[in-house]
Structure 1
Amino acid sequence: MIYPWLEPVWQQIARHWQQQPHAWLLYGHPGIGKREFAEYLAQALLCESPGTNHQPCGECTSCHLYSQHSHPDFLLVTPEETDGEGGERKQPLIKVETIRNVLDFAHLSAHRGGKRVALIYPAENMNLQAANALLKILEEPPQGMVFILVSHQKDRLLPTIKSRCRQVVLTIPAPAQALAYAQQQHGDNAAELLAFHGGAPLFNENDSHTQLRNELIALLVKPRLIALLDYAATFDKHKLALATFLDWLAKWLLDLSLAQQNMQPIYYPVWSKALNEISRQADTLLLFALIDKVNKLAPYGKHTLNVKMQLEDLLIEYLNIWQQKNIKS
């Protein structure tokens, strides 16, 4: 399926259907329907009776096989599942062994006599060895083979891989359209949740995550050392990834920096009044230093760092933003 806000992108692809590349790179914000779009494209490439706008018919043998997840000329490549012990703290990777299977698949003859399609999602989760293995076949692709790479963070892909793909940005929906969709799924909390997710309406909100995030924001509004350290321990007990906390904190710090410039918050609009009050008490230089630190930690959000220790360090630095301002004044 294609979500309504991505229909214009499909129309553009359909207009140039005869000039298809051997490799696509579909990228954009998380939560806008990139995987669904990629799967629709894959089905259209395999369809034996496409519509006038090159959309898959949904009725031919190929479409039936695709809908049953048994099409012999389609291969979906996703990261290996993490074990239960590692939880979300373990970085899911697409490893070189998996990409070698893709290479074997690429050199097979098509069972249905048409194209063969491999969809890699998310492409940035390939480790370096896997990315280099894929690069070799992108340089000399077999006849009739199409690769569809989907990425939330295309800057994490090798430049040489990106240069061998036709890059297509999938856009976030207009605010009104996103809100209308989110309201259908999340009711009264839709506007607040949509803002937190950057306007991308396809989000799954975990109740335990929401509670932990709300507890964090309450502490950031009125930070107290012991309470902050207790929170770090509580977060750690939930076995959540450092990346989750970094996302929550980075969005708060950005909104705080906007408040210092008399601008409206992006991610926490319901806390606008509190952010304005806090912005007058926060040391600007220390705030930007903490933002920089959070950004530098972001690439390690799924690594096996001591999460509790990292949270304690970041939260103490946040508290210091307040204390230093008060000392100077």
Structure 2
Amino acid sequence: MSQTLGVGILGAGPVTQAIHLPTLARQADRFRVVSVMDVDASVAESVAARAGAEAATTMEAVLDNPEVEVVAVCSPHQFHAGQVAAICAAGKRGILCEKPLATTRDEATQIAEAVTAAGVPLVVGAMHAYDPGWLAALDACADRIDSAHTVRSTIVLPFNDRYEDWATQIASRPAPPAPSGPPDTQARMDRIRGLVLGLSVHDLSLVRTFAPTLDSIDHAEFFTPFGGAISLTAAGRRVDLLAFMRPLWRPDWRLEVWGDDWSLRVQFTPSYVHGGSATAIIRGALGEQRLGPWSHNGYEGEWIELHDLVTGQTQPHHPLSDVLDDLTFTTDIADGAAAAIERGAAA
């Protein structure tokens, strides 16, 4: 039987309610939720009650609880650096931090310094990086990575509330933004940056496996209400990022890679869905290879990774140096896409 770790959660919004609590409930041999914090006391109490946990309204209350051994940072991204540093200072054993880990290099440096000094394992909650379907595809394509010439990430989803409401009864969610007219240039720049950091980020560490360094942003366009298309060159390879959220019924979330004589397609389940892993198809000169599905998904995979790191049962799939390189890649794309929109508006 695995060692069971006490979990504290900072932030009790829809991600905690619809993703982490159901995921942790399926891993009772590894984790038990001890404390749930939210600045809204009624939300903290409601969500904590679902897990039989203590409710808190401050980070300090969670970190002062001796039963809390690992902490999930599910707060808005601007709090991540300070909270990760506080968790390390409190002597906790492990951290799962939702993506984006940070939005600036300064914040990323603060986080890296804190976890390195404390020797605390850190897992970033980008679930696809821990999906067994992706990991199997990566292993099967290991000798083809350098021969890839084109990568495409496609994310077409309904708005989150559809899947949140299927996954659980949401205690509270942020109010939707007030209707407004067509976005001006600055608004489109801000929104495409948010699109990269909030949606495309899920698969950018996967993209970077095949196209590790950003060369240039070749085109960027934002589409209302929330979507965009970004074309870029990375390590000499063509990369297209398509991401849209709109009221559609049929989701489509896939990563595709092409070489001269082979191709890979990884098909993911939508966010908030707890119904199994991604599947993959690899085609080449010797025919077609199909992988998956597995019974668990990347949500469980990231928590399994944290448990095994804390208890000394594994080496990280994504060392801190890779995590920081992924973040630099992501923020450079976000900033470059915004700059491309600004250049287009000025032309």
**Common topology (TM > 0.5):** no
Task: Select the structure of larger CA radius of gyration.
Answer: 1
| TM-score in terms of structure 2 length | 0.32
| TM-score in terms of structure 1 length | 0.33
Kindly indicate which of the two structures has a greater share of residues assigned to helix. 1
Kindly indicate which of the two structures has a greater share of residues assigned to strand. 2
